[in-house]
Structures are given as structure tokens and as C-alpha cells.
Structure 1
Amino acid sequence: MALKATVFKAELAVSNMDRGYYHTHALTIARHPSETDERMMVRLLAFALNANPQLQFCRGLSNDEEPDLWQKNLQGDIELWIEVGQPDERRIRKACNRADTVLIYPYGARTAEQWWQNIAPKLSRFDNLEVYYFSPQDTASLTSLAERNMSLQATIQDGMMWFGNDITTLSISPENWFR
């Protein structure tokens, strides 16, 4: 019998001063049985950084055809394709050919750096690709915020992010690897 996804609910208040975006989102996040709390919270960080009423979580790990998050326009065209982790070159190529903008958020100490060293030379031709790295210190501390029902706040200003709940606030600095 297959394991089912664990459902998390999050109320996420986003104040993005860089983009002039202020909104509270009621989110339902399905965490795949093989997904860690860290990865799920990185998906939530990616949502906060790119928050938009049309941005939505996809089936992610359980589907090769969809990214972790995407934003489509009214015609069904993909405006934004977001991957979390270390996708392979084929998947990145596919994303860049299908979407207006592709964002990748790798995380993890040496594995992310090694992945980037191997794949970066093959991606230089894509004008619509951006890669932002989350440090192991930033992502490991996120797991303390993971609960089945979360009330979170994200404040973004000058490329810095403050992310937390009523008890804990974390300072997170995504490092720009490719733009």
C-alpha cells in the first residue's frame, strides 16, 4: 500500500518591499512521503519570495511533468517555473523552453555546490533562468518552524528575508548564483 502525502496548512503573510507586494495567503501544502521538512519549508520560502495570487504548489516529487511551484496566466501559459533542489540538465532545459522565467533554489552544503559546478557551464545560454542558493544554516533552521498548522510571516527587503512565526524569526539571504 502506497503512503499518502501529509497535508500541512500555512497562513503566510508576505510583505515584499522590493516588489511592493503585501498579501496573506492561506496555503495547503502536500508533503510527499519521501520529502523532508527541510525541503517542504524551502518550497514555502520559494513561494514567499515570489508570492503572487496565481502562484501555486504543484505535485512536485510525485510528478515529472510539473515543477515544485508554477504561475500560469489566464491562457494557461507558464509565466514562472520554480524548482527546489538540484534538477538535472534535461529538466532545466525543458523548464526554460516552456516557461517565461525559471527559478531554481538549490540547497545543501557540498552537494549543491558540486551540482552547480557540474551543471553551470551547460546553462549559460538560457536568458530566462535564475539560480539562488540557500545555505545549510538557513535551511536547517527552517525545520523548527514546520508544523501541521503554521502561521508564518515573510518580510523581504533589499534581497534579505526575515521568515518566522510568533516565536522565532530567521534571517535568510539567498545567494545569487546565476542571473
Structure 2
Amino acid sequence: MAIKPTIFKVSINLSDLDRNHYDTINLTIAKHPSETEERLMARIVAYCYEAQENLVLTKGISDTEEPDMWVKSLDDQIQLWIDMGEPSTDRIKKANRQSKHTIVYSFNSKSDVWWSQSADKFKQIGGSYYQFDFSEIEPLAAHLERTMKWFVTISDETAAIQTDTGEFSIHRTLLHS
């Protein structure tokens, strides 16, 4: 029998000062058995940075044909494709063909190596590429709970996250746009 995903709920009070976007978001997130806590937390933080109407968490890691998040138009066209991790150039080429805009958030300890080896190819493909510092994601992941309440303020590409168990800062570095 397959191991089932673990369900997490997070209530987010978001103030994105960089984009003048303010919202209260209630997310229900399925953590795939093979997904790390760091990846789950990076997904939530990326969701905060990209929060907009119709942004949806997809099956992600459970379905290789879907991104981690997307925005679709009313006629089911993909407007925004968001991938987490270190995807292949072929995957991003495909994403660019299917969507109007593609964003990648890298967060692992090996992100620098992935980017240095593939940066030229990704720059030719197009899209936006960001990196979270793994040393900032890791302490946040240590505070993962099944039900969480976050207050997130984004300013100057830094998300200040206040939870019931601590305060964290996650900086987003633009690699290429």
C-alpha cells in the first residue's frame, strides 16, 4: 500500500509592500511522502512572494506534468508556471511553451552548483529564476506544524515571517529575469 500525503494547513496574513498586495490566505497543502520539510516550507514562502488571484498549489511533486503552482485563465490557459527546486532545462522549455511566464525558485544547498552549470542555457530559454538561501529555509522547516498561522511582511525582496514558534527572514535573490 502506498504512503499517503500528510496534510498541512497554514493561515497567512500577507503584507507585500513591494507589490502593494495585502491578503489573508488559507492554504491546505499536501506534503508528498518523498517531499522534504524544507521543500514544503520553500513552496509556502514562494506562494507568498507570488500571491495573486487564481494562484493554485497543484499536485506538484506527485504529478511530473504539473508545476508546483500555477495561475490559469478562465479558458484554462496557463498564465504562470512556478517550479520549485532545480529543474532541467528541458522541463523549463516545456513550461515556457505551455505558459505565458515561468518562474523557478531554487532553495537547496546545491542551488549554486545547479545555477552555475546551467545558467547560460536558462538565460536563453527565458523565465525568471530566484534562489532562497537554504540556511534560511532550514530553520523555518524545523518549526513545521500540521496547523500554522503566519504573519508575512515582504519588503525589499525579504519575507519577514512571524509564527507562533518564532520569527524568520527569507531573502529572495534574483538569479535571472
- TM-score, normalised with respect to structure 2: 0.95
Q: Which residue of 1 aligns with 2:119?
A: 120
Q: Which residue of 2 aligns with 1:82?
A: 82
Distance 1:52 1:11 in 2: 16
Residues 128-159 of structure 1, C-alpha deviations (whole Å, 9 max, x = no match): x1111111211111113311011112111122
- Letter of the 2:118 partner, please give it: I
Asked if the contact 2:151/2:163 (under 8 Å) is kept, the reply is: yes
Tell me, yes or no, if structure 1 residue 142 matches structure 2 residue 140: yes
The RMSD of aligned alpha carbons is 1.2
Tell me, yes or no, if structure 1 residue 158 matches structure 2 residue 137: no
Matches within 5 A, 1:46-125: 46-109=46-109, 111-125=110-124
Gap regions ≥5 residues in structure 2: none
| Identity level (%) | 36
Distance 1:97 1:154 in 2: 33
Distance 2:71 2:112 in 1: 27
- Could you list the structure 1 runs, at least 4 aligned residues long, displaced by more than 3 angstroms after superposition: none
Deviation at 1:115, TM superposition (A): 1.0
> Aligned with 2:87: secondary structure?
coil
Q: Which range moved further: 118-127 or 48-57?
A: 118-127
Asked if the contact 2:79/2:99 (under 8 Å) is kept, the reply is: yes
Asked if the contact 1:145/1:164 (under 8 Å) is kept, the reply is: no
Distance 1:147 1:89 in 2: 34
Tell me, yes or no, if structure 1 residue 15 matches structure 2 residue 20: no
Residues 143-179 of structure 1, C-alpha deviations (whole Å, 9 max, x = no match): 1331101111211112221013134111121111111
Asked if the contact 2:143/2:165 (under 8 Å) is kept, the reply is: no
Deviation at 1:5, TM superposition (A): 0.4
Deviation at 1:73, TM superposition (A): 1.4
Distance 2:155 2:44 in 1: 18
Q: Say how many residue pairs are matched.
A: 177
- TM-score, normalised with respect to structure 1: 0.94
Gap regions ≥5 residues in structure 1: none
